[in-house]
Amino acid sequence: MKLAFLGTSAALPTAERGLSCTCIERNGELFVFDAGEGAQMAFIRAGFGWNKPMRLFVTHMHGDHCIGILGLLQSMSLNRRTEPLEVYGPAGIDEFLAANMRTLGVLPPFLVTVNIVDAAGPVVATDEYEVLACGSAHRVESYSYILAERPRPGRFYPEKASSLGVAKGSMWHRLQTGHDVTVDGRIVHPSDVMGAQRPGLRVGISGDTRPTKELEVFFAGCDWLVFESTFSHDLHEKALETMHTTAREAGELAARAAARNLVLTHFSARHADESDLVKEASKAHGSVTGARDGLVIELSG
Query: Cβ of residue 105: shortest distance to a second copy, in angstroms?
Result: 6
Among 27, 28, 103, 300, binds a second copy (CB under 8 A): 103
Per CB under 8 A, 67 contacts a second copy: yes
Question: Which of the following is catalytic: 34, 64, 208, 223?
Answer: 64
Q: 185 in helix, strand or coil? A: coil
Per CB under 8 A, 296 contacts a second copy: no
Per CB under 8 A, 34 contacts a second copy: no
Query: Cβ of residue 131: shortest distance to a second copy, in angstroms?
Result: 23
Cα(263)–Cα(226) distance, rounded to whole angstroms? Answer: 5
β-pair partners for 85: 54, 112
Spatial CA neighbour of 7 closest among 42, 31, 40: 42
19-53 CB burial, b ≥16 within 10 A, e <16: bbbbbbbbeeebbbbbbbbbbbebbeebebebeee
Cα(137)–Cα(144) distance, rounded to whole angstroms? Answer: 9
Among 25, 37, 223, 228, binds a second copy (CB under 8 A): 37
Please identify, using beta-carbon distances, which residue of 66 and 264 lies nearer to a second copy. Answer: 66
Cα(89)–Cα(117) distance, rounded to whole angstroms? Answer: 5
Spatial CA neighbour of 145 closest among 90, 195, 184, 74: 90
Among 51, 52, 104, 283, binds a second copy (CB under 8 A): 104
| Residue at 84: amino acid letter | P
User: Would you call 208 a catalytic residue per the annotation?
Assistant: no
Per CB under 8 A, 78 contacts a second copy: yes
Per CB under 8 A, 38 contacts a second copy: yes
Enzyme catalytic residues:
64
What is the binding site for a second copy (CB under 8 A)? 11-15, 18-19, 37-38, 40-41, 44-45, 61-64, 66-68, 70-71, 74-75, 78-79, 92, 95-96, 99-100, 102-106, 140
